[in-house]
Chain A
Amino acid sequence: MPTSTPDALRDVSVIIVGAGFSGLGLGIQLRRRGETSFVILERADDVGGSWRDNTYPGVACDVPSPLYSYSFRTNPDWSRMFSPGQEIWDYLRAAAREEGLGPHLRFGAEMLEARWNENDHRWTVRTPQGEFYGDVLVAATGHLTDIKLPEVPGLETFTGELFHSARWNHDFPLAGKRIGVVGTGASAIQIVPQLAEIADQLVVFQRSAPYIQPRRDRVFSEAEKNLFRRDQRTVEEMREMLFWYNDSRFAARRLIDDYLAEASWQALSHLDKQVSDPELRAKLTPDYTIGCKRILLSDDYYPAIQRPNVHLEAAALERVEGSTAFSAVGEAFELDVLVVATGFETYDLPSSYRIFGRGGNALADHWSNGMQAYKSIATAGFPNLFLLNGPGTSLGHNSVIYMIEAQIDHLLAALDWRSAHDGRVLEVSSDIENAFAKRLDEGAAETVIIRGGCSSWYLDPRNGRATLSWPDFAHRFRDECAPFDPAAYDHGEQSAARA
């Protein structure tokens, strides 16, 4: 075990693991309330989470920027409705800096293990930077962080250059190369138009065609940005309009006929307009109900697919031998580069194998039947552990930042309650956790996530539960999950005094 160097924040009230949107958002709120006894542990060397890791060409968010940002830190400077990833990363870095989080951040401090100590009722987090001790542990570890590679025989034998979309190799020159892209999800449809411009040949391996709607992106003019700066209310009004419009899209997810038909029409008419070849159109037509997988937004994906140097292989990548990639229908492609855009570990989180609660039980074991948490934030057997952006928080129709903020409000109220009650430990019972999870399962059963006839990253394939998904309006999450109700928690023990 590494020896601990002196650090004023080695022993704190709150340990936050992760410096993405969740961890930084909580840190900002703590700072604004004058809290100083917290540390943010980050495994990388900078803040930003997904927006630090994803640097692929064309990276942007598919939620409008005025909404994909903190409500308590609106930004008048977004360059466009769907701003590039670099701008989102810069926004987060500026937020961390200007809100005074610098002294609280510890980089290269990966959570190797977090353990609840039954004697002093506190958490110990082991990192390469030594151990940290806290009354409360906040797992702000995200679920679009640990990359997932496809299980393709021979992938490791590939003789060309291979990398995941979230680990882009910017040192490798791609111009004039024969490139394969594996996947047609949110990352791939942004990457493909960029690579199509420079590749000699581009092959896109499509296991399942996505629904794609028009992006309706646009630049914010200097006059608009100036207005946003002069009158902050105008930014907020745009944000509110986007939020409530997006929330109304949940009606389609809940399979209400008229709204489902409208969503389908928006996607399929876009396909019809952009692709005239019936054979290609058929390949690009999804075989499940819209919204089951994430609905993608792009105006340049279909045009890119129709370039003479681009081939859409409507089949999965099945195996690799040396420099040859074989599709599931037996086509062979000689490739110099394979870009794997197959997403992330979402349902069986690597971080859950590193958190040990009562009796030394791993969170992953507690979640062997699928991850779940009371109000998406607290779980039985893990006292004073709070999860941000964990189970039951993902949306297909609105901004996850809104969900994170609702969770932060719950957490701040819980911390206030602890302060007012001699630092008593907060822990939910299995009954309360299970009852909440059951309601979510029942809600999900009414939505397209379960009923849409697809497998998506919102589902846990071990049990078919939509453990990642919040199966309701986003506003309903705030209504239900932001309020902290001490009666839902057991609270007998007290954290021992800090050293």
Chain B
Amino acid sequence: MSTASTVPATAGDVKENHGSLHIGDLEVNFFDSLDEHSGLPPIVLVHGTGGSTRSHFGFLFPMLAAKQRVVAVDLATPQGPPDEGQIRMAEQVQAVIEKVLPDRPVTLAGYSLGAVVAATAAGTRPDLVGGLILMAGWLKTDAQQKLRNDIWRALRQSDVEALRRYQAFCAFSAPLLAMLSDGEIEALVSSFRTDDVMAAQMEINRHVDLTDVAPKIACPTLIVAGTDDLMTPFRQSKRLFGAIADARYTEVTSGHAMVVERPAELVHLIAAFNANPNQYPAGAILPTRRP
């Protein structure tokens, strides 16, 4: 079912291998830091809507790879019915794990849509996943999220420049945006995608439903919510906290773009969970961090 090629590449100091496999007509790319460093489980990263390993995990990938092996999947966007999107993407993650990290527990960490995909992957193949981290995820798309999705779709038709501004407005926390200069705001705005792939992923977002799969997640799970997240509001993360048996919960002071706003805090949370998933028991809300 899959073929793979390996091309050496480098990102900073991380010696990183790039590979790919095929599922049907989809090509799935992944990156592998290779170096085990320690006896810690490898971490598998799954990016969010409109993202990639590079754009969402430019910080997390190399910094986590300093202490443990990291594999990151660049999701391919399936063409079929949008309500099957989450399972089609979960299959990609499962295929990469089976190919690159067979027969060993991995810690699967997803961000945004990647959290939905990771939860689906863990719920449908509990044997592949030893620990699960869901950053800015959600349980089932609600009316508030559909309303935002409607605006996104309408602006894509009518005013792409306004759409980019709207994306920046939704993705980052109000306190962060308030600190930026005009030039920095424009740089953020221009970084957003509005292409067909992005649009297809937004359709998948409309149809997310983890209600059935969440109870099947058996491994220790860490839920990370952004306090100021407009796209996947923290109450959605709390719904995951309620739905997943072995879950613990924490918040970072951030908007949806926590991989940009609080990357070092995410490294802390992911690394600490990977080293000891049961440091806090199921049902725990992590103590507030006061640096």
Contact = CB atoms under 8 A, between A and B. Distances in A.
B34 interface: no
Interface residues of B, number: 22
Contacts of B268: 473, 475-476, 479
Interface residues of A, number: 27
A446 B264 contact: no
B58 interface: yes
Contacts of B58: 256, 258
A254 B262 contact: no
A446 B262 CA distance: 23
Given A256-B11, A402-B291, A446-B13, A241 B175 contact: yes
A256 B16 CA distance: 13
A402 B290 CA distance: 10
A402 B268 CA distance: 15
Contacts of A254: 12-13, 62-63, 66
B248 to A, nearest CB: 17
A131 B264 CA distance: 46
A146 interface: no
Given A244-B262, A254-B12, A479-B272, A236 B290 contact: yes
Interface in A462-499: 473-476, 478-479
Contacts of A243: 291
Contact of B62 (A237, A241, A256): A256
A248 B59 contact: yes
A317 B53 CA distance: 50
B12 A256 contact: yes
Main secondary structure of the interface of B (DSSP, over half): mixed
Nearest to A67: B291
B186 interface: no
Contact of B265 (A71, A244, A251, A257): A244
Contacts of B264: 244, 247-248, 250, 473, 475
Given A254-B12, A475-B264, A479-B268, A240 B289 contact: yes
Contacts of A250: 63, 264
A257 B63 contact: no
B291 A251 contact: no
Interface in B1-24: 11-14
A240 B268 CA distance: 14
Interface of B: 11-14, 58-59, 62-63, 66, 175, 253, 262-265, 267-268, 271-272, 289-291
10 contacts: A71-B290, A237-B175, A241-B175, A244-B262, A251-B62, A254-B13, A254-B66, A256-B11, A258-B12, A479-B268
